[in-house]
Structure 1
Amino acid sequence: MKTVVIGLLGSVMDNKGKGVKRWDAWRPTVGIFMQEDLIVDRLELLHDRRDERLANNIGADIETVSPGSEVKLTEINFTDAWDFEHVYSTLLDFAENYPFKPQEERYLLHITTGSHVAQICWFLLCEANYIPAQILQTSPTRGERCAAGNHQIIDLDLSKYDLINSRFRNQHLEGTEFLKSGIATRNRAFNELIQQVEKVAIRSTAPILITGPTGAGKSQLAKRIYELKRKRSLIEGEFVAVNCATIRGDGAMSALFGHTRGAFTGAQHARQGLLSKANRGLLFLDEIGELGLDEQAMLLHAIEEKQFYPVGSDTPQASDFQLIAGTNRDLHTQVQRGEFREDLLTRINLWSYRLPGLKDRREDIEPNLDYELQQAEIQHGHKVSLNKAARQRFLDFALSPEATWRGNFRDLNAAIQRMSTLADGGRITEQNVNDEIGRLKRHWQPRSQTHGPEANIDLADYIPEAELQEIDLLDQWQLLKIIDVCSQCRSLSDAGRLLFNRSRTRKRSTNDSHRLRQMLAKFNLSFEELTDRKSV
């Protein structure tokens, strides 16, 4: 395979020495051909028309020191050698028109000569593979008068450099550990997920969607992503977090986008919205599926255009924020129901990660136990620990099928907080653990337990576990009765008449079907779904 060097004539560096004295001076282009361990078959030497004489002289000297090497001179015209756009375009034109044959020839791009602008442009073209070459760097010999000088060949594939590659790996490991709060997690799938999140957090500003059950750690991961980006100087604004379930209704628009004075009754002062507050920072919208369709449309516009309209304003306001969205709902199902905009889901779903619940990461319970103990120490201001028997008792229970961990890491955190608070001297005993196990078992009892005919109904068969945890106990009891009645009736009207048997007599016109359908829709259920389950 032939070796071809591509480079620019150095109008200053290659023009050293007069007469025979030129052979005592280091001239970068000529010096390439004086290297004992570098054989060059052809030189593609680019030069300005004003330096044609120098180019011919350099070509003649190269023929003297390396008679077997071919020198091809190519004239290029830099109207301004310090104009970056012009120089880059000129060199790009050369690269795009040059007949590269990488299967037959090895290319070295000499970047020592030419202006600093040209050297940068050479590097960028090589790094982008417009020029399929390795970098050739030459330098004079220190302390000696040597016309040959030194040379170094640099491959831009950094993975080939052990030290650099090792530092890259260490940086990724450091970033991954940071996202995991230093917890030595053992679940392989979770660790691989976090490793990819680390790469995306560093390399992308696109929206990220984090899904998973309540308590799986979505909020904590979003905060750590922000802190990692801030640590790497990739972001400089604030971390703004909001649970969208808390801003549903008329105030959602104002909370997100702000409003002007007098925009509506009671708006005595202008208000800055959350999107404005997150400018040049990170906005975390937890439970994004709770937003109304109007808010979703405005949010999509803000993500794509980096601007939005505060309520009551005709003037757009700019905000360059990165979005992380969290949800425990199935947004694709919400799209099918018309409850979530498909275009918004497409926009925020470029990077989507589902965090598994604690029951699906049981091997990570022990390291998270140690982490929670450390956090308890910080909170209480003294040492908190489990004796050997207590630790084993807790882990045996935590890893058993009895432990459902419905609240995921929130349940684990609450358990450690309770035990550490009740433990004398911060030493958690086996008795403390047994008491906590009893408390957790009672907390995790099936929520459908009741003394009526609906005792055999399990709400978990109708409502996803993550959503069930968000429903008040009173509403659960009411829902059990509704399901029991619907399962015994042939139609929605019959069920409505039974359930509203008192209030319907006080109304001039009744629409029991509509009232019942609305109640079921509150829990994302329908009469048809309930009757279908009954027939299975």
Structure 2
Amino acid sequence: MKNVVIGFLGTQLDMGKKRRWKPTPSLFLHDHFDVDRLELLHDHKFNRLAHQLKREIEELSPGTEVLLQRMDLTDPWDFQEVYGKLFDFARGYGFDEDREQYHVHLTTGTHVAQICWFLLTESRHVPARLIQTGPPGPEEKTPKFDIIDLDLSRYNALQQRFDQLSREYSDQLKGGIETRNPQYNALIDRIELIAGNSDEPILLLGETGTGKTELAERIYNLKLDRRRIKGRLVHVNCATLNGPDAMATLFGQRRSYLGQAGTERGGLLREADGGVLFLDEVDELGWNEQSILLHAIETGRFYPLGSDHEVSSRFHIIAGANRDLRVLAAEGQFRQDLLARLNMWHFHLPALRERREDIEANLTFELTRSERKLGTQVGFNADAREAYLRFATNPATFWPGNFRDFSGSVKRLCTLAPRGRITRAMVEDEVQSLQTGWRTSTSDTDFTLVKDVLGSAASDVDPFDMVQLAKVIHTCQHAPSISAAGRMLFAVSRQKRKTQNDADRLRKYLQKFGLDWDAVSARHR
């Protein structure tokens, strides 16, 4: 098989002006590497040097065929021009890999040309290995010669290192928790890719307590590690931005606005300059604030209150919302144009009940976190841990506050544990307390929930049935399918049945009130 070398004419080095070492002729000074053909690319301005070099090579290696390939470059430092012409050269070359082995001489040419050669060979547009040459050392007679094959296994180690780093970033986004839920892990991997490569806004959606705030903080740390930002994370709870101070809090205020000393305010957007602005509960932001915020995101400029001059602030945006912004926008409660700007990358964080396989790992995480805060080691007795996990992972346990409920529960157990041990009795008390609290907090909303679905017919529902029906509706609205809703509602009784057609049982129950799955679940979606 013939060896073919392709490379640029070295307009300075091949003249021998530096160290009298010529990189292109040095290719023929190595006994272990024979060159059957040299494709020498050159500009017409260096036509004389190219022919001189051709004669020199033919004297050094009479068996080598030297072909001069003219490639005129208006600006050899223009990436677009160099890459485009090399790409066209590669497409029209006619590589014959069955009969010839191709090599690209990487040493000659501008740095831009070297980068373009690398990209073309790495993408296999040029099916070649790279040759790097260098002058001999002080005590060496033979010039340096190294073949770099991008397909060699030693370069797989580099890819493995990058993969390992990517896994570390994903672990960072997960807080070091070994999650098992495939949908959540896929979501985190995608966020890691986007946060490390894009400066566009990220929108985090999900129920309260699903971890949007903690994830936003981890995204900020990842961006900081990847050197995409230098500034700080500014957390804005938009639900607290009400009344006349909202604009000043966000955009700042000049003394002239009120005419009183000490009323100057820098504004949270200025504080976020060079960093990340996290707009928590952005769905609670007022209409006027939405308008000015949109302009600030798009231009990086805004007017503080009382100022005739714009100030600038560049920041990355992470926004969080509990409610569906598309529904709010359709109802006129949220600006469509702001939603379009924030919705470049959006992610819906699953509820805890949708990630039951991750509960045990999160329990370990919460125990460790509580130990750090309490300054003492805490653990479950074996039967207590089994009982708590059985309750926590049961489909009937709805976890309305998601991880906020779960974290609070573990903290209470750790704080009250005598001698650092959580007992079975403590778990039973905690479970009863959780269930009582959930029933109390939802009882006042049962009628509203049923009326939203049944309309005026809700007044005909008995109080006993009201509680049960509200539970069913709430479960259906948050379950991905009728089968999943049935599994949650009949989690206990289904274990005693030979056939477990939960979906059919749920359909029959809904029919008693003239309802079906579509009517109950569509309103929430």
Q: Give secondary structure in 2 for the equivalent of 1:43.
A: strand
Q: CA deviation at 1:54?
A: 3.4
Provide structure 2 residue ranges, at least 5 long, that are not aligned to the other structure.
Answer: 461-518
- Tell me the equivalent position of 2:285: 291
Classify 1:75/1:440 alpha carbon distance in 2 versus 1 (closer, same or farther; 3 Å): closer
Q: CA deviation at 1:256?
A: 1.1
Q: Distance in 2 between matches of 1:69 and 1:463?
A: 85
- Tell me the equivalent position of 2:25: 30
Report if the CA contact (8 A) 1:362-1:399 is conserved: yes
Classify 1:112/1:125 alpha carbon distance in 2 versus 1 (closer, same or farther; 3 Å): closer
Are 2:18 and 1:58 equivalent residues in the alignment?
Answer: no
Are 2:418 and 1:424 equivalent residues in the alignment?
Answer: yes
- Tell me the equivalent position of 2:158: 164
Q: Distance in 2 between matches of 1:425 and 1:242?
A: 40
Classify 1:268/1:141 alpha carbon distance in 2 versus 1 (closer, same or farther; 3 Å): closer
Report if the CA contact (8 A) 2:255-2:264 is conserved: yes
Classify 1:100/1:177 alpha carbon distance in 2 versus 1 (closer, same or farther; 3 Å): same
Q: Distance in 1 between matches of 2:362 and 2:374?
A: 18
* Residue among 382, 397, 407 paired with 1:388: 382
Report if the CA contact (8 A) 1:158-1:164 is conserved: no
- Tell me the equivalent position of 1:498: none
Alignment of 1:436-475 (within 5 A): 436-445=430-439, 447=441, 449=443, 457-461=446-450
Report if the CA contact (8 A) 2:378-2:421 is conserved: yes
* Residue among 73, 81, 95 paired with 2:86: 95
Q: Give secondary structure in 1 for the equivalent of 2:147.
A: strand
Q: Give secondary structure in 2 for the equivalent of 1:367.
A: helix
Classify 1:240/1:311 alpha carbon distance in 2 versus 1 (closer, same or farther; 3 Å): same
Q: CA deviation at 1:32?
A: 2.9
- Tell me the equivalent position of 2:243: 249
Q: CA deviation at 1:232?
A: 3.1
Report if the CA contact (8 A) 2:4-2:35 is conserved: no
Q: Distance in 1 between matches of 2:215 and 2:158?
A: 28
Are 2:294 and 1:280 equivalent residues in the alignment?
Answer: no
Are 2:333 and 1:342 equivalent residues in the alignment?
Answer: no
Q: Give secondary structure in 1 for the equivalent of 2:204.
A: strand
AA of the residue aligned to 1:63:
E
The more displaced of 122-131 and 185-194 is: 122-131
Report if the CA contact (8 A) 1:5-1:43 is conserved: yes
The more displaced of 424-433 and 371-380 is: 424-433
Q: Distance in 1 between matches of 2:452 and 2:320?
A: 19
Map Cα deviations across residues 17-44 of structure 1 (whole Å, 9 max, x no partner). Answer: 9xxxx9xx86321233555446453413
Alignment of 1:83-482 (within 5 A): 84=77, 88=79, 91=82, 94-95=85-86, 98=89, 100-101=91-92, 104=95, 108-114=103-109, 118-124=110-116, 126-127=118-119, 132-133=125-126, 134=128, 135-140=130-135, 143-146=139-142, 149-155=144-150, 161-264=155-258, 269-445=263-439, 447=441, 449=443, 457-461=446-450
Q: Distance in 1 between matches of 2:203 and 2:152?
A: 31
The more displaced of 214-223 and 105-114 is: 105-114
- Tell me the equivalent position of 1:41: 37
The more displaced of 36-45 and 267-276 is: 36-45
Q: Distance in 1 between matches of 2:248 and 2:15?
A: 69
Map Cα deviations across residues 148-180 of structure 1 (whole Å, 9 max, x no partner). Answer: x5232353x899921111101110111111111
- Tell me the equivalent position of 1:10: 10
Classify 1:303/1:128 alpha carbon distance in 2 versus 1 (closer, same or farther; 3 Å): farther
Classify 1:267/1:417 alpha carbon distance in 2 versus 1 (closer, same or farther; 3 Å): farther
Q: CA deviation at 1:212?
A: 0.5
AA of the residue aligned to 2:111:
Q
Alignment RMSD:
3.5
Classify 1:40/1:353 alpha carbon distance in 2 versus 1 (closer, same or farther; 3 Å): farther
Report if the CA contact (8 A) 2:287-2:335 is conserved: yes
Map Cα deviations across residues 430-471 of structure 1 (whole Å, 9 max, x no partner). Answer: 111111011001011164537xxx9xx44445789xxxxxxx
Classify 1:486/1:191 alpha carbon distance in 2 versus 1 (closer, same or farther; 3 Å): closer
Q: Give secondary structure in 2 for the equivalent of 1:71.
A: strand
Q: CA deviation at 1:381?
A: 0.7
Q: Distance in 1 between matches of 2:342 and 2:389?
A: 38
Q: Give secondary structure in 1 for the equivalent of 2:217.
A: helix
Report if the CA contact (8 A) 2:231-2:274 is conserved: yes
Q: Distance in 1 between matches of 2:163 and 2:71?
A: 44
Q: CA deviation at 1:104?
A: 3.1
Report if the CA contact (8 A) 1:393-1:430 is conserved: yes
Report if the CA contact (8 A) 2:233-2:272 is conserved: yes
Report if the CA contact (8 A) 2:5-2:35 is conserved: no
Provide structure 1 residue ranges, at least 5 long, that are not aligned to the other structure.
Answer: 465-482, 489-531
AA of the residue aligned to 2:160:
S
Q: CA deviation at 1:414?
A: 0.7
Could you state the TM-score of these two structures normalised by the residue count of structure 1? 0.75
Report if the CA contact (8 A) 1:248-1:290 is conserved: no
Classify 1:77/1:231 alpha carbon distance in 2 versus 1 (closer, same or farther; 3 Å): closer
Report if the CA contact (8 A) 1:32-1:151 is conserved: no
The more displaced of 66-75 and 94-103 is: 94-103
Q: CA deviation at 1:307?
A: 1.2
Q: Distance in 1 between matches of 2:169 and 2:318?
A: 18
Paired residues, number: 452
Classify 1:128/1:265 alpha carbon distance in 2 versus 1 (closer, same or farther; 3 Å): farther
Q: Distance in 1 between matches of 2:458 and 2:357?
A: 42
Q: Distance in 2 between matches of 1:298 and 1:288?
A: 14
Q: CA deviation at 1:119?
A: 2.3
The more displaced of 161-170 and 96-105 is: 96-105
Q: Distance in 2 between matches of 1:312 and 1:281?
A: 25
Report if the CA contact (8 A) 2:4-2:37 is conserved: yes
AA of the residue aligned to 2:353:
K
AA of the residue aligned to 1:69:
E
Q: Kindly, what percent of the aligned residue pairs are identical?
A: 38
- Tell me the equivalent position of 1:71: 67
Q: CA deviation at 1:264?
A: 4.5
Could you state the TM-score of these two structures normalised by the residue count of structure 2? 0.77
Map Cα deviations across residues 70-92 of structure 1 (whole Å, 9 max, x no partner). Answer: 3215375789x8xx55xx57645
